[in-house]
Structure 1
Amino acid sequence: MLRYYTYIKWHNDLPIYQVLMVLKKPENVRNIKGSFESTVQGLEVMKYNYKVIKAYEIDKNEILSQKNIVLYPLRVFMNHDGETEEEHILECLTAVEGLKDADYYFLLVECLKKLYQKSEYEKFVKEEIYMSSALYKEPYEKGKEEGLQEGLREGLREGELKGETKTLARTAVKLLIKKFGIIPDDLKQSMQKLDVPTLEIIIDNILEYENLEQVKKYIH
């Protein structure tokens, strides 16, 4: 932090005050200091201060009442007494899913990954919102076609191993979201009702579709 401060002060001369936010309660550290002092032979050389904020001690509902949107993704680390873990996860996701900027949803899901096992949060995540974030899309723009092909192969392998129509339907929906972004709920529901051969045709041709209308022709 001191090196970062020195660089900004030296090159840009910006007036900044640094903040250290501790997300999870440390197991082996009792006291986190907000200052650092340096002395040489009893002479004071420097005193460096910064603010320490412990996220796990903040009431997450205060962030909502203050409408401090920039902190919404970090609410998952905050105090949630009186709620089960599932209730807490669902509430945090609901708070950001209505925001215009899908990046907040993406960042919250990334924070959830740091706290919980995949099975505990993934059932609540709305993939169409998560995948519509610019933070999700940008790393995959390069080599997008290769990514779709790999997803196609993995989905088919998984479907063959499990032999389930639901597996192929979910794979097809994921690939369509990856290609077109948000897709209508009625289309996702219709995909669940298709048989295995039809789903395999849709997946095989995923790279050739230019719009969702070309997919809907397989739905009767």
Structure 2
Amino acid sequence: MVLKKPVNVKNIKGSFESTVQGLEIMKYNYKVIKAYEIDKNEILSQKSIVFYPLRVFMKHDGETEKEHILECLSVVEKIEDTDYYFLTVEWLKKIYQTSEYEEFVEEEIYMSSALYKEPYEKGREEGIAEGLQEGETKTLARTTIKFLIKKFGIIPDDLKESIQKLDVPTLEIIIDNILEYESLDQIKKYIH
């Protein structure tokens, strides 16, 4: 399916052939569907819901861009599965400037889509896990520095900074062996 009319391509073929030394190796025939040549109302009359989000690319003779955008959104707004609304908005983003469509988007419908929620939720969960890990690392680094100060007294700032950059397993090793260290040089072997 070709969504937008290509600028530099004159003829889009419906087949592919590959030959090696005059022998036919592969031959594929396929139908080229040019979305930009389909009347968007045809899709509605056929009730081809799966193509509703692609209607933004289709012919919309007699409508302004604003009317076209509003009509495409209003059709998918009525569908129970909000993923269609989400996909329509995503396609609008690809072909129109933000100011041309954004004011018409119903954020509540858009954000209720599973396609919106899944990456958002995953990113949120990863962010929380990352934050917890970062917090654990900072706490262990502070604890390590406190123990080293108690054992050796003043610690150089560059060593403190290096300790704060260490990962959790390395910090745990240092803390576990703190009583065995006789000098700060033994700590420096963990700093790369």
Calculate the TM-score normalised by the size of structure 1: 0.55
- The match for 1:55 is 35
Equivalent residue runs for 1:153-192 within 5 Å: none
Q: Distance in 1 between matches of 2:64 and 2:93?
A: 17
CA shift for structure 1 position 137 = 0.5
Provide the residue aligned with 1:125 in structure 2.
105
Residue 48 of structure 1 deviates from its aligned partner by: 1.3
- Cα displacement string for residues 184-207 of structure 1 (whole angstroms, at most 9, x for unaligned residues): xxxxxxxxxxxxxxxxxxxxxxxx
Total equivalences in the alignment: 127
Provide the C-alpha distance between the structure 1 equivalents of 2:23 and 2:48, rounded to a whole number of angstroms. Answer: 43
How far, CA to CA, are the matches of 1:116 and 1:58 in structure 2? 19
Aligned to 1:74: 54
Counterpart of 2:96?
116
Matches within 5 A, 1:72-151: 72-144=52-124
| SS of corresponding position for 2:86 | helix
Q: Which residue in 1 is equivalent to 2:4?
A: 24
Whose Rg is larger?
A: 2
Instruction: Determine helix, strand or coil for the equivalent of 2:12.
Output: coil
Q: TM-score when scaled to structure 2?
A: 0.63
Name the SS for the 1:136 alignment partner: helix
Alpha-carbon deviation of 1:143? 4.8
Point out where structure 2 has 5 or more consecutive residues left out of the alignment.
129-192
State the secondary structure of the residue aligned to 1:81.
coil
Question: What is residue 34 of structure 1 aligned with on the other side?
Answer: 14
Deviation at 1:67, TM superposition (A): 0.4
Unpaired runs of 5+ residues, structure 1, are 1-20, 148-220
Q: 1:42 to 1:83 in 2, by over 3 A?
A: same
Could you list the structure 1 runs, at least 4 aligned residues long, displaced by more than 2 angstroms after superposition: 39-46, 142-147
Which one-letter code corresponds to 2:18 in the other structure? S
- Secondary structure, aligned partner of 2:32: strand
Deviations 1:126-179 (A, max 9, x none): 0000000010011111353869xxxxxxxxxxxxxxxxxxxxxxxxxxxxxxxx
Q: Which residue type is aligned with residue 112 of structure 2? A: S
What is the CA-CA distance between 1:95 and the residue it aligns to? 0.4
Structure 2 partner of 1:204: none
Q: Distance in 1 between matches of 2:30 and 2:93?
A: 28
